[in-house]
Structure 1
């Protein structure tokens, strides 16, 4: 229990105070408590400082510790009335407010808490134990051995089952393709492939070419040997493909992808560049331009009035960052979109397959100029026909027939047959717009393309266009065979 002291003003001039924290004892208000100076011995003084919890404490000749902090056994009461109370040699303050001025009960030692039998002192106890009989060397019964083996087998099966559950949980928690194998809707959301099985079929197509992949490294160059040293190898190849598809499908920032996959942001950048170049080479090496015989083989019935149509062409624009140079601004500014863009042309076979992808041009370039510079003229033959929009005034430069909606051209009205032809062509051209809408489902193209990506945007755009031939079903379900 904490001692209760009655503080009363005392007569005299002494103004001694206790230096212990939380102690308010003062010689002015109490004559029962005595005040003691610090010992001159250095080691003893350190013990006092440590016990009263005063780090870096400067001691002067006025510094005191009151008698409330010492146990009564360490205090020497004065021999005569009016004498001074003193401390025994080696006394240390141990009673404080934070321990309620009490040391508590002393904990007994092991041998103090338990009374040992007298026989243990003489050794008879141990002799009695050693004389007991044991069956350590006795052979166990066969039935008992069978029970133990069965129990061990059961425990082993339980451990294997728990291990498999933990592995499955770790796969589900880690962001990657394995996390979404059971959900086709998630695969569609993250990759734009219609199902997990569809994505795996695409993986089987490109997997044999992985051994020819050239990886982008920190130095900017790579070869097959150095790719093993690349940090991007912390992910499996199929997870790298999944990351690249996330980048295109969701338009995620590289920092976000780094957090999801647990890799460095620079590693994400190298993976994106590596796979854009790889898929550009693998998918671009396939001939997507179709012969007239193949087109007629798959020609939908809607094109029976235009049976010689080889490709339907249209242009699309991607918004880009505004350059600081006025000259560059004028080159990439699109009057149609009223902001800076990059412009590309896509060709589609009548049944919906992508058959031509041009490079990207500045937004100010006309449709006709893109048509001429894209290189499609070398693929056209006199027995072919193309279907285009009104902006493609290419009749004077193509060697084949052109199906294009008619112009009013200052006439008061169009003839009936031109109106019907315009409606028919517009009805068929809507499919190229649906194809471009599928391309724009890649949310990467919804973002403003920064200027520092101009070196790789052509590969990303071409890969996205070529992926349309592998990802989705037919534009019109009736066309599917």
Structure 2
């Protein structure tokens, strides 16, 4: 039987070599009605022999996917074809079909762009619905292949109904929102912010040296009002504090911190210097101070309660190497050159900064001097740093070795004593020391301040050196303290916020 297209004005027939396909009207009532409306023949009803040619579809074939523009015919000529018009050749038909296929693919891409990912996710979550994919079948050029497609039409329509029922966009939207929230929380936990350290004391200890997040939060609360003048749009106040503590704690290079926080090296350098200045003026006076005599006696450890009830402080000196000679003005620079030449002739090291530290018997740091060149004697350092002004008449100053300051201490009405390092060792001082100085109770005293210094350096690795040259210059014109001097004081203040590192009990 020879089929002719039912569209008014279309004279296409099924003949060998045309390359056209002819489709039977669908069995599905809704789709069939859409085809009848597209043909637009008033009062006409198709029968079993009615056929529609493939030229009336954009892609040149019918598509059973309800989202496709070729689900119903849509290509019709505006005027009837002339009887004298020749039937187009096979090559011309193929070229037109390729253009229509490209246009159909573009439409399908635009329509499916927003739903393809959703469909894939739905199929992963519901394996039993995987067989409900949209099927796009190509019609054959013969009547046999066309009839086979018509036979499968009812099956495709039933699958289409299942697919529409399976897609619940509200559930998919809820799942995507939940996943988005989980991803945000995961990213925030990995970023260097409050949530990165909250409820994790081990992280707080590793990155800041402080015992827990509560202490870190307290430090942040104390410093926050003084950070309002710091203009840094890339880092929050907490991140600026964390960056500075990581610099002191882990001695990370500025470039490393810039990578970690996603900022430029200049921002890291400026942030560290500004935060050290704020912590030096705010935190140090609060945490590093000379206690009253009543407070000292109230909390005096048992090791000194009977032998030295008036012990006010245990002192010692420590050094930190630096990379280049310190520059604190032309006059001091010339003095440093002369001192360096003298120390080289004497065979001593001059590329170090020397500090005097005072530790209360309870194990907290109560005094830290500014750094001076390492070739300066202990006596010169002690007499020039303001330590002697802290002493009261009757105070006892203990040390593990002779610092040659007994006369200077005595001038303040206090007493300087050298505690024995080992039992049976002779104890020396400016005056004869009582035999009790060599008792076993005082054997831990010389190691007491050493343990505190070791703990501070271990807790804040930047104090082990070598110090970079930018930190050794005076940070302010009105102050003779370098940035590193302030860093040492800040490290001691932070150390005092922790549990005593070396109690004498």
Considering the TM-score relative to the shorter chain, is it more than 0.5?
yes
With structure 2 as the length reference, what TM-score do the two structures score?
A: 0.57
**Contact 2:315–2:358 under 8 Å retained in 1:** yes
SS of residue paired to 1:178: helix
1:300 and 2:301 are equivalent in the alignment:
yes
For residues 364 and 115 of structure 1, do their structure 2 counterparts lie closer, same or farther at Cα, with a shift above 3 Å needed? same
Tell me what 1:404 maps to: 418
Q: For 1:76-115, list aligned pairs within 5 A.
A: 114-115=21-22
For residues 298 and 236 of structure 1, do their structure 2 counterparts lie closer, same or farther at Cα, with a shift above 3 Å needed? same
| Structure 1: stretches of 5+ with no match in the other structure | 1-110, 132-147, 212-223
For residues 181 and 117 of structure 1, do their structure 2 counterparts lie closer, same or farther at Cα, with a shift above 3 Å needed? same
**Contact 2:194–2:238 under 8 Å retained in 1:** yes
**Contact 1:299–1:351 under 8 Å retained in 2:** yes
1:379 and 2:390 are equivalent in the alignment:
yes
Distance 2:253 2:343 in 1: 24
**Contact 2:314–2:398 under 8 Å retained in 1:** yes
**Contact 1:346–1:356 under 8 Å retained in 2:** yes
With structure 1 as the length reference, what TM-score do the two structures score?
A: 0.60
Distance 2:296 2:347 in 1: 33
Which of 449, 462, 468 is 1:444 aligned to?
462
Cα offsets for 1:226-265 (capped at 9, x unmatched): x44xxx3301111111111111111111001111111001
1:125 and 2:44 are equivalent in the alignment:
no
Cα offsets for 1:177-211 (capped at 9, x unmatched): 53233432222111111222332233233334434
Distance 1:115 1:314 in 2: 103
Q: Return the offset for 1:330.
A: 3.9
SS of residue paired to 2:444: helix
Distance 1:465 1:363 in 2: 20
Q: For 1:67-466, list aligned pairs within 5 A.
A: 114-115=21-22, 125-126=39-40, 157-211=174-228, 224=229, 227-228=230-231, 232-286=232-286, 288-304=289-305, 305-323=307-325, 327=338, 329-330=340-341, 338=349, 340-398=351-409, 399=412, 400-405=414-419, 418=435, 421=438, 424-441=441-458, 442-455=460-473, 456-466=483-493
Distance 2:274 2:373 in 1: 25
Q: Return the offset for 1:389.
A: 3.0
For residues 453 and 206 of structure 1, do their structure 2 counterparts lie closer, same or farther at Cα, with a shift above 3 Å needed? closer
Q: Return the offset for 1:409.
A: 9.8
Which of 460, 468, 472 is 2:495 aligned to?
468
Distance 1:468 1:336 in 2: 35
**Contact 1:404–1:425 under 8 Å retained in 2:** no
| Deviation larger for 396-405 or 356-365 | 396-405
SS of residue paired to 1:234: coil
**Contact 2:362–2:504 under 8 Å retained in 1:** no
For residues 409 and 155 of structure 1, do their structure 2 counterparts lie closer, same or farther at Cα, with a shift above 3 Å needed? closer
**Contact 1:311–1:347 under 8 Å retained in 2:** yes
Cα offsets for 1:277-305 (capped at 9, x unmatched): 01001023336110000111111111111
Distance 1:433 1:336 in 2: 26
Distance 2:43 2:385 in 1: 101
Q: Return the offset for 1:424.
A: 4.4
Distance 1:168 1:335 in 2: 62
Q: Return the offset for 1:452.
A: 3.1
**Contact 1:333–1:340 under 8 Å retained in 2:** no
SS of residue paired to 1:386: strand
Q: For 1:3-14, list aligned pairs within 5 A.
A: none
Cα offsets for 1:155-176 (capped at 9, x unmatched): 6653442232111121133244
**Contact 1:343–1:363 under 8 Å retained in 2:** yes
**Contact 1:405–1:422 under 8 Å retained in 2:** no
**Contact 2:401–2:418 under 8 Å retained in 1:** yes
Q: CA RMSD in A?
A: 3.8
SS of residue paired to 2:375: coil
**Contact 2:303–2:504 under 8 Å retained in 1:** no
- Paired residues in the alignment total 330
**Contact 2:419–2:438 under 8 Å retained in 1:** yes
Distance 1:177 1:336 in 2: 50
**Contact 1:312–1:432 under 8 Å retained in 2:** yes
Distance 2:416 2:437 in 1: 16
Q: Return the offset for 1:457.
A: 1.4
**Contact 2:360–2:366 under 8 Å retained in 1:** yes
Distance 1:130 1:388 in 2: 116
Cα offsets for 1:89-115 (capped at 9, x unmatched): xxxxxxxxxxxxxxxxxxxxxx96654
**Contact 2:455–2:501 under 8 Å retained in 1:** no
Q: Return the offset for 1:337.
A: 7.5
Distance 1:130 1:233 in 2: 73
Cα offsets for 1:384-430 (capped at 9, x unmatched): 111123231212112201221479699xxxx9964852764442231
**Contact 1:323–1:329 under 8 Å retained in 2:** no
Distance 1:177 1:334 in 2: 53
| Deviation larger for 118-127 or 154-163 | 118-127
| Structure 2: stretches of 5+ with no match in the other structure | 1-17, 26-31, 46-164, 327-335, 474-482
